[in-house]
């Protein structure tokens, strides 16, 4: 995971924040615990998937004597990604051809109390270009674009479920 931040400044702490910090148990998700769903149903024959979200913030740099940025320009958020499919049915291809938006839910789940779910509420799939490369089957890649779902007012929801109450 890559996280990039913009800030106006920072203030160093003069003393420790917690004399005896909590030590949390780290549980790693395995790629074998992943799933991809659309409309609540598991999508079959997915060979790979990726999602990229950006809020496209830009700093306004001016000459100042304190070294801080002048302000932050709010950008237009973007959601994109790709999924590669080995065809077993035409469900995604039919939606792509019709221009029908789909929801995608990508996640990792160890149990009902330990999971990470990334929900892309409205994505548009391009019309696929299919190629037949041999006896392995027909594979297709969709480089999708996300849009803000009008009823929810957002493009993406990320939900982590674990045994930690709040941090």
d(CA 161, CA 138) in angstroms, rounded, equals 36
pLDDT of residue 117: 93
Whole-number Cα distances in Å, 100 to 22, 61, 116: 48, 42, 26
Domain boundaries, the chain: 31-161
Please state the length of the chain.
167
The DSSP 8-state label assigned to residue 136 in this structure reads T
Question: pLDDT of 41-97, one tens digit each?
Answer: 888 788 889 999 988 888 888 888 887 888 888 888 899 999 988 877 778 888 888
Question: pLDDT of 100-119, one tens digit each?
Answer: 999 999 999 999 999 999 99
d(CA 30, CA 12) in angstroms, rounded, equals 36
At 19 the three-state DSSP class reads coil
Q: What is the CATH number of domain 31-161?
A: 2.30.110
Determine if the pTM surpasses 0.85. Answer: no
Question: pLDDT of 118-140, one tens digit each?
Answer: 999 999 999 877 665 656 677 88
């Amino acid at each position: 995971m890559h996280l990039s931040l913009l800030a106006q400044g920072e203030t160093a702490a003069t003393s420790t924040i917690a004399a005896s910090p909590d030590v949390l148990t780290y549980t790693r998700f395995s790629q074998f615990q992943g799933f991809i769903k659309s409309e609540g149903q598991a999508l079959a024959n997915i060979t790979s998937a990726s999602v990229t979200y950006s809020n496209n913030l830009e700093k306004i740099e001016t000459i100042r004597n304190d070294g801080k940025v002048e302000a932050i320009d709010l950008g237009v958020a973007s959601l994109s990604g790709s999924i590669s499919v080995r065809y077993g049915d035409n469900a995604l291809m039919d939606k792509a051809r019709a221009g029908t938006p789909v929801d995608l839910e990508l996640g990792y789940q160890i149990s009902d109390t330990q999971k990470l779910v990334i929900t892309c509420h409205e994505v548009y799939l391009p019309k696929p270009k299919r190629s037949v490369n041999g006896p392995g089957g027909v594979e297709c890649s969709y480089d999708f674009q996300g849009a803000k779902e009008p009823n929810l007012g957002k493009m993406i929801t990320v939900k982590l479920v674990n045994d930690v109450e709040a941090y």
